[in-house]
Each structure stands twice: as C-alpha cells, then as structure tokens.
C-alpha cells in the first residue's frame, strides 16, 4: 500500500475533475502540499484523516466577501442597505483602526476555515491586516483594497495609491495571498478612474474585483447619464477581461451577458445577500449555460450573516429555481461545482486549486455526512447541497496542512480570538 505524508481515506470523493469523477470510496495521497494520488486504492499516510461516512470535496472558494464586517453583524438588522450604511456602518467604519480589521478578519477567517472555505476573495480596507489574519488561520485570500473614489480627484489619487501599494506588496505573499485591485462599483467610481485602474492592473499583473449591477437604480442612473449600460461602457474602454471578477451582476441586459461571455469576465453570485438586501436575483442559470465563469460568494457577514457556504449552496439553487419558476434550474451538481472549481476558475486559480486531481495543491474538505440529516446519501451532490450545514465540516486541509481536525481549528486559539473580538465590538459600539 502506497504511503504519503498525509492520506485522506475512505470517503465519497467528489473530485470535480473534467469527468466529474466520484470515487466511492476513494482515497487521496498528499505530499509536499500537493495531491499526488487520487483513486480507489487504499493508501496510508504518516498522518491520516478518516473520511468513512463522509463526503470529500475540493476546498470551497468564497468568491465575494468583506470579511472584517463580522464586527457589524447581528445588530441594526432587517434595514434597507442605504440606512444600514449611513446610520450604522459608516459612522463606525470612520473609527475603525487596523487592529479592528485584523480582529474582525481573524474571526471571519476562522469561521470560513471551520466551514470548509479554503480561499476567499475579499474587498475592504487595511487589507494588509486581512492578509495577516488569513495566513494566521491558514486559508488563501485574493485581497483588494476597496477603492471608493466618489468622483473627487484627490480621493482618486489617494485610493488608487493605497490599492496599488497593497497589491505590490502582497501579490503572491507566502504562496497564500494574491492581490487584486478593488474599484468599488459603477456608482462610486468614474469611468476615468476605472480606466486608470485597468492600466494599473495591467502594469501590476493583478486582477480586478468590482461590484456591478447589484441594484437597479444605479444602473438606470448610469444609463441615463451615459446612454449605455455600465457593462457596455466598461467594455468600450477595454476594462472587461478574463482577470475581472464582477460581484452581483443582477441588472444586466442580454447584450451585457453576451459581452461578459465574450470577454470571459467572471461573476460572483451572492444569493443570500441579494435576498437579504432585497437586491434581486441574478440570471445565473442563463449565464452558466452561456459558459460564463461563475463562483459563489457569501458577501460580507453583515449581509448574510454567516460565512457558511454549504448553507449558501442550498439557497443558491433555491433562488434560481424561483427566479426561473423551474425546479430544474441550478441543480445540485452545478452548485457543488460552482462552490469549488467554479470559484477557482472565477479567480483564475484553477491551475492550482478547485479540484481533487494529481498535481493540484491539496485543498480538501471532509464533511461528516453520517449524520441523520444527510440520509440516505444516494446522490452525494444533493445530500450536500440540500441537506448540508457548514457546522458538519469535520476536517479541512489547505496546501497539504490540516487546519481543521474533527471540527477544531488547529491554527489559532479560537477562544482567545473571540475574546479580543468581543472587546473590539464593545469598544466600537459601546
């Protein structure tokens, strides 16, 4: 029997490879952080994870969030976005210090890790703090300083400088962090600014992470001012390329969809946030059948409120079924694909992660599906999608390192992180 540094033994392995192979049971051999064996033969490891009665998947990729906003959750809820931002979030954000961001991001990274997220795409500020928190916890991050230009020249230079400085310093950091530029949205950045962002991204060789068409009024307003949709305008200036990730993408014309497909830009679908804030329902089923690259996002913890992608997988499918009034929309298999390989593709990291395949980095999640709620596991895709909870994640491996074992985070002291977090919350909100 072959022996590896680390072996995952005996689960239902959803590889998400090109053939969507399912090994039941299957085993994984890991060496130097890389997957070196996937198959039906039993293997041994110096370290071993028993996946008997479990479903094993590639690590989940959270394609859109604002992780430090754990600080803001569970208060001032059930409010319109504008009111929530103006009366609650912005006044406190004005007082946020880098250490608050670190503390909030650490709790978010811990929560994501515990729920099987091994890579997240994040936009906020003080992103160096988020990078540190992600590495502490042991998950990968694609991080961007949120650049809210607000149409003033001074702000424009300042935010662009901050965004590019962060990207220069952190892109490729410790093999776990990638940077992107994060112009905030079509309503908070001018076209001129977005042109500059595109140029900087090209110079730096990093991607772009932007909110577009999340709600209807800004899109209508944009069309009124510019005589064309945001997607059309961005495309005309050469902004849209394979390295652009569009968060939300709800209010799009048919032509917009075609443009996104043609330029091979990617989309982050955030079903929970889109429902919670009453933003609307993106046309994900159509986008998928067009071949647009799509990942799943939780959005910030303030508008979800958990960072449990298994929970969000179910809602992702339910929302599409309702959107098209067709129960065949976004079937479970496509949801599992979206949350793993789809996310990796959307972030252009699929050469490294997103499937359980020899040669890829070893990001693996083991979910305890022996529990009653999953039975019978006749179709593992539907059992995971429709019966699942992130609270049932048993083990998580990132880059060959076990960061969660039997539901316990191995990398940081969660109790201590929560104490600091509680202190920060009472400091900020009194």
Q: Which residues bind a second copy (CB under 8 A)?
A: 70-71, 73-75, 77-81, 107, 110-111, 114-115, 272, 274-278, 280-281, 304-308, 311, 314-315, 317-319, 321-322, 324-329, 331-332, 371-379, 382-383, 386-392, 414, 418, 421-422, 425, 429
Nearer to a second copy, 199 or 326 (CB): 326
Minimum CB separation from a second copy for residue 81, in Å? Answer: 7
Q: How far is CA 59 from the centre of its chain?
A: 11
CB within 8 A of 166, min separation 6: which ones?
127, 128, 143, 144, 145, 179
Minimum CB separation from a second copy for residue 120, in Å? Answer: 15
Minimum CB separation from a second copy for residue 116, in Å? Answer: 12
Nearer to a second copy, 316 or 402 (CB): 316
Place of tokens 């989309």: 267
Nearer to a second copy, 112 or 185 (CB): 112
CB contact at 8 A, 73 and 308: no
Nearer to a second copy, 276 or 360 (CB): 276
Nearer to a second copy, 75 or 225 (CB): 75
Nearer to a second copy, 23 or 81 (CB): 81
Place of tokens 């112009």: 183
Minimum CB separation from a second copy for residue 351, in Å? Answer: 31
CB contact at 8 A, 385 and 335: yes
Smallest CA-to-CA distance from 356 within 2, 18, 6 is with 18
CB contact at 8 A, 131 and 143: yes
Minimum CB separation from a second copy for residue 187, in Å? Answer: 18
Nearer to a second copy, 59 or 207 (CB): 59
CB within 8 A of 20, min separation 6: which ones?
14, 333, 337
CB contact at 8 A, 347 and 118: no
Beta bridge partners of 295: 268
CB within 8 A of 394, min separation 6: which ones?
51, 54, 366, 367, 368, 404, 406, 407
Minimum CB separation from a second copy for residue 414, in Å? Answer: 6
Using CA atoms, how far apart are residues 182 and 148, in angstroms rounded to an integer?
A: 9
Minimum CB separation from a second copy for residue 367, in Å? Answer: 11
Nearer to a second copy, 64 or 276 (CB): 276
Nearer to a second copy, 80 or 205 (CB): 80
CB contact at 8 A, 143 and 180: yes
Task: Looking at 143-246, list the stretches that DSSP marks H as alpha helix, in order from N- to C-terminal side.
Answer: 153-170, 191-204, 216-226, 230-236
CB contact at 8 A, 239 and 198: yes
Minimum CB separation from a second copy for residue 66, in Å? Answer: 16
Minimum CB separation from a second copy for residue 80, in Å? Answer: 6
- Phi, psi torsion values for 353, nearest 5 degrees: -135, 180
Nearer to a second copy, 263 or 371 (CB): 371
Nearer to a second copy, 37 or 76 (CB): 76
b/e sequence 311-338, b meaning 16+ C-beta within 10 Å: bbbbbbbbbbeebbeeeebbbbbbbbbb
Minimum CB separation from a second copy for residue 326, in Å? Answer: 6
Minimum CB separation from a second copy for residue 330, in Å? Answer: 8
The upper half-sphere exposure of residue 225, i.e. CA atoms within 13 Å in the direction of its Cβ, equals 12
């Amino acid at each position: 029997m072959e022996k590896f540094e680390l072996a995952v033994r005996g689960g239902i392995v959803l590889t998400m490879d090109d053939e969507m192979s399912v090994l039941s049971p299957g085993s994984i051999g890991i060496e130097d952080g890389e997957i070196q064996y996937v198959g039906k033969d039993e293997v041994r490891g110096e370290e071993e994870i028993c996946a008997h009665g479990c479903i094993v998947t590639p690590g989940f990729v959270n394609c859109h969030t604002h992780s430090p906003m754990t600080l803001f959750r569970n208060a001032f809820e059930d409010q319109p976005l504008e009111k929530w931002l103006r009366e609650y979030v912005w006044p406190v954000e004005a007082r946020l210090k880098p250490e608050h961001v670190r503390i909030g991001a650490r709790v978010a990274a811990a929560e994501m890790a515990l729920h099987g997220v091994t890579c997240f795409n994040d936009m906020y500020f003080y992103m160096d703090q988020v990078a540190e928190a992600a590495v502490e916890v042991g998950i990968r991050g694609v991080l961007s300083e949120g650049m809210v230009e607000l149409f003033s020249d001074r702000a424009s230079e300042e935010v662009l400088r901050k965004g590019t400085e962060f990207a220069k310093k952190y892109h490729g950091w410790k093999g776990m962090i990638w940077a992107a530029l994060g112009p905030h949205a079509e309503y908070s950045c001018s076209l001129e600014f977005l042109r500059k962002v595109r140029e900087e991204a090209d110079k730096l060789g990093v991607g772009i992470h932007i909110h577009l068409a999340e709600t209807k009024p800004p899109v209508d307003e944009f069309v009124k001012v510019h005589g064309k949709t945001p997607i059309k305008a961005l495309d005309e200036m050469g902004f849209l390329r394979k390295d652009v990730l569009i968060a939300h993408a709800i209010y799009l014309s048919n032509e917009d969809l075609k443009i996104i497909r043609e330029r091979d830009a990617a989309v982050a679908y955030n079903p929970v946030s889109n429902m919670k804030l009453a933003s609307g329902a993106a046309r994900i089923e159509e986008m998928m059948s067009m071949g647009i690259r799509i990942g799943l996002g939780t959005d910030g913890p303030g508008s979800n409120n958990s960072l449990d992608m298994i929970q969000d997988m179910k809602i992702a499918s339910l929302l599409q079924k309702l959107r098209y009034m067709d129960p065949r929309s976004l079937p479970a298999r496509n949801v599992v694909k979206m949350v793993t390989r789809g996310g990796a593709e959307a972030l252009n990291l699929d050469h490294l992660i997103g499937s359980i395949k020899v040669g890829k980095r070893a990001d693996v999640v083991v979910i305890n599906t022996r529990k009653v709620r999953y039975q019978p596991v006749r179709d593992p895709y539907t059992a995971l999608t429709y019966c699942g909870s992130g609270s049932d994640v048993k083990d998580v491996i990132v880059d060959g390192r076990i960061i969660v074992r039997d539901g316990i985070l191995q990398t940081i002291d969660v109790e201590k992180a929560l104490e600091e977090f509680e202190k920060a919350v009472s400091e900020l909100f009194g």
